[in-house]
Structure 1
Amino acid sequence: MFQLTRTQVLALVRKSHKAQIIVFACAVLLIATVTIAYNAKTIEAHIDGQTVHVTTIYGTVGEALAHSNLKSYPEDIVNPSRDTLVTKGLKVEVTRSIPVHLLVDDQTFMTRTPAKTVGEALVDLSERYGLQIKDVDEVSTLRTAAVTDQMEIKVRRAIPILVRADGKVIDTYIAPRTVADALTKLGIVLGIKDKVSLPLDHMLVPSEQVQVVRVEERVDTVKSEIPFQNVTQPADYPVGLPDKIVSRGSKGLQEQTVKLTFEDGKEVDREILGQRVLTPPTNEVISRGAQTSISRGGTTINFKRAYVMRATAYCIPGGTTKTGASVRWGVIAVDPSVIRLGENVYVEGYGQARALDTGGAIKGNRIDLYMNSTEAALSYGVRNVMVYVQ
């Protein structure tokens, strides 16, 4: 068999240019392989509950992961961080991000998040995209729910509203919706007759107020008294004297069917649907004086009104009355609020007189009769008399 010695091979290489190139390439490859083998480091990556060993010549964790066979996304959480220098035996924790669809009002984001729950995802995405999602905003899924692959999360920004209902004030936030939908969302059920301060199809705007008035209608049977009437009949005694009761009246009793309307527990209207009398009332009969004339000593005295008065007597010779007239027989003192000054009167037991004077003690139904002597005045004393104002 044909064989070449080492010396022959070297001689052949020196003479062949192509052979020289091959030898040089092999040498470079050998040097590179030795260099790589010397610089290569292995890190331990924990991903999705599995441990994967990654051998790399790159200097940082981020570069090592990016040039490995592992799929890595910018949204993944890497600990220690991606710019950490690779050292031999370094352990790296990778929390995979999940693709989700986020809809905030009229904005749509096709993105990824490493968050485990919807609430955590909203915090992450809100900070990342500057969305300022608040805790009061409405979310289509419970914030405590686990994030799943390709999950759709809808967020509706809430506005402040104030609702008064059932004696309570609900100061809350809610996504824009009609009044009817807002009340349903708050668990407020409307009755057929209930009143709402805004139309049910009205779309709420920030800081709007809604008043719910509960309306209740009830039909009751109510018993009530029927007042009696006063029936007056003329009597044969002077006009002005107190009325006399001939027969006392008594109240009746009636039963009414009433429709009562209440607003928030307060009665605002009542309608009588029907009624019947259980006991009729009895009228009270009163006799009233109708006599306007009397006969005294064969003379007829006509009068407008009669009084029973407390009478006294006085005597002040040469005195002057309130009206400026001189005192004399037939002058009497009266209370002007009862008998006007200047009125002609007839006093039983005294005769014709005229009201021309007043007195400090003469108040109400009292008169003071002038006498011609002190003895006569003292003798008269105090008595009740009939006074007829003509």
Structure 2
Amino acid sequence: MRKKIIAFFTGAIIVGVLAGGQASASAEAYKVQQGDSLWSISQKHGTSVQQLKSWNDLSSDLIFPNQQLHISADKAVNKENNIDDIYVVKSGDSLWKISQKFGVQVNELIAWNKLSSDLIHPGQKLAVKGNPVPVQTETVNTVSQQPAPEQKEAVAQQSAPKQTQAPAQQPAPEQAQAPAEKNESASPQGNEMTVTATAYTAYCNGCSGVTATGIDLRSNPGQKVIAVDPSVIPLGSKVHVEGYGTAIAGDTGGAIKGNKIDVFVPSKSEAMKFGVKTVKIKVLN
């Protein structure tokens, strides 16, 4: 009888150790199931598509059944970056609001979480503490280099004879303003290409209203978002679209392949009115 009791407890200990090992493994990795996508996995585990791609070194949204994915930042990464606190994004949050709440800077939040833009969504987990990011001091240096009042007066006195000798050569006010007007109307710099553009809404048949990167378009009808082919335009990029404005490449589509984009508009009537156009775009980052 004693031998049976000892054997029972030994078996229980072994089962407990194996169960603990499986729990530890499941806490760090997720096995991709048939029909899974990065977006559905991010929603299930309270993270974002961008973080999943970063933790797993993915260059695209393509995943395969039985693939093992990290669903949280490894402890080694947290230790390296000295990350102590995690904040779960709530509805109505912005990086600026979160930075004010925790007494940090927006650029620090972007650096700690490896974000490519200011875009965040409810349920996303953000590190709110880490290694400080140096603050630029160019404005301070510029102020300190300005000449003292006595130097300004001397410069004005030296330049006065030149102004009196040739007043007619000074540019008229309209001519002086011309360069500034030209700069304001100039289009942003970036990788330019010509694409075929169509439009879509958040209320089409079978649409959830949530993009491939987690943007809720029904809650943000004024958001400028375009669907792209990630092999041509990386998801998360800022793109200037002729006649539409600067948008986030935040969605994909089965028919969006190659040099094609789909611009988001609030209503079906606007989508129908938009039609099919050939437009120029510039990928800004």
TM-score (norm 2): 0.32
TM-score (norm 1): 0.23
Instruction: Please say which structure displays the higher CA radius of gyration.
Output: 1
Higher helix share: 2
